[in-house]
Amino acid sequence: MKLFLGVCLALAVAVSAVEIGAPEADSPVFGYHTRFGIVEAARIKKLEEASVEDAGLSGQRIVGGSVTDISATPYQAGLVIQVMIIFQSVCGASLISHNRLVTAAHCNNDGSISANSFTVVLGSNTLFSGGNRIVTRDVVSHPNWTPSTAANDIAVLRISSVSFTNVIQPIALPSGNELSNNFNGANALASGYGLTSDGGSISTSQRLSSVTLPIITNAQCAAVYGPWVHNSNICTSGAGGRGTCSGDSGGPLVVTSNNRQILVGVTSFGAADGCAIGLPAAFARVTSYVSWLQSQ
């Protein structure tokens, strides 16, 4: 189940190393829209419009998981992003209230291109059709968002108020003792629109998939991605070829705590050499940003 977390550019010590010297070029999120998002938007839209079941994508999304329904992850939102006036890019997001969503900052500004507008898609198994579709230009990236280092990769989208239904529900933010929990070893659910296996095909009836992933320590994650991993990141294991991949940046990572689901991560980056090669995925750690999110 690969979600391409934002832009998976692996600096992995053991995989196709990228020289660390030109931060803008090396950053795993810099240039996301032109490198990944626009291509993914075109592929997904073509598949939906043509209703082709066997038009294989090259594994650019959730891999190693299973097809799910939006009713199982009603906080999941899709983002169709207008960039450079004539192009579209894609990301994911999480609904946290009647009028606010959390996404990745690089979905708004990837260091090279800024979004013109967002179409927020709620309550739908597909990105380019169906659901409650709301256009907004009201987005706030974290004030310390730094594309060159991938630090503080989190943003808030504001929309007109939506009514909650069985397929549109907010996800809770961590609170109380959860704010000091690193969640290491916990199983978390990542979700997004796309493939369920590398080299597979997208079903015409459903695009939304999910995968359960174990949360690993930041030290384990930094052993692969080095300086791109910050204290404000949370990472999941890619063991068994399961994880997130390109195109679903900004999407949710959720755990069950105190008998409810809470948002603990926002998809940021992973390995560019392939989503099923067993490398970790990195997310913005929501517990580092709860106060800021609530102030928005």
Residue 93 bridge partners (DSSP): 77
Catalytic residue, candidates 124, 191, 197, 249: 249
- Quick count: other Cβ atoms within 10 Å of Cβ 260? 9
- Quick count: other Cβ atoms within 10 Å of Cβ 83? 21
Of 5, 77, 85, the C-alpha closest to 37 is 5
User: Any idea what the Cα angle at residue 94 is, between residues 192 and 136, rounded to 5°?
Assistant: 105
Catalytic residue, candidates 106, 209, 230, 268: 106
Residue 230 designated active-site: no
Residue 249 designated active-site: yes
Distance CA 275, CA 231 (A): 23
The distance of Cα 14 from the centroid of its chain, to the nearest Å, equals 24
Catalytic residue, candidates 27, 97, 142, 153: 153
Q: Is 237 exposed, middle or buried (0-12, 13-18, 19+ CB in 10 A)?
A: middle
Residues with catalytic annotation? 106, 153, 249
